[in-house]
Structure 1
Amino acid sequence: MNSLIVCDGDAVNFEAMFGHRLVVLTAPALIKASGVASVSKRRMCVLGDEKRDRWPARYFVTGYTPGQGMVSIDMLDASQFTPCIVGRPPLIVCGLPFTARFTPTVPATLISPPNTPDSMTPSIGRGNFIARQHYARA
């Protein structure tokens, strides 16, 4: 598959629903790259960069007060990284959606009866990368 290469500062977009939770990021999600090669003076992302970032979010469940948590990339789709190059880690490319994880840090609380917290169990969702450059593909 020929997909756009993900670079430092590219956006990470998450679908709103993580199981029964509606999750809203509190700040833009941008990925940080550690690759050696660059596109337009921005480092390319390599396999493993997706595991380094977590983004704060609020979440909502019907009948509960809002809660807080962190969103992370759980697992890339096989279409989102290039074959291994000898001596270099695979590049991350846009590809198909990846698996994301929302982990509550402050649980939402049931309105009635009061003080009944939502489960602290993580929820699974999906997301994708949005490349700012539109010419370098792998």
Structure 2
Amino acid sequence: MSVTACWTLNQKSGLYEVAMGFMDLPHDNFESFKKVFTEKVSEKMGKAVSISFCLNNTTMSSYQTKHQDAAQLSLIFDQVKLEMKHPIKSVNASRVLQLMDSCLDGEDRYQEFVKQVAVEANMSVEALEFELEPFI
């Protein structure tokens, strides 16, 4: 998964600045992206987050007080962007990606989640990995 969002700690303010780029998304998808992203942030973080959108520079930014919130915001951004670029056709592939996005070490636990979903879906790990290939 390519990284399109990053965060840095501003030593003076003590805030984490999360910078997110969507240059590779078509501009006509921006409003749709903004809506889906805002809904996912609210759903996954359990709160509203102030986000600045700059369509001309194809960036978004937000300031967070906690490292975990900055990391989660970055993960949500990448998930929504990936879903908009490559709509997921498989329920099982979607489930693996949801599990990965539900925790900060999700990428490290990829194989664990693939095995779990493959068992639940009564399918081979190889078949599920084939479905996931465009997204990983």
Same fold (TM over 0.5): no
* TM-score class normalised by the smaller sequence: under 0.3
As a proportion of its length, which structure holds more strand? 1
Q: Which has the higher contact order (CA 8 A, sep 6+)?
A: 1
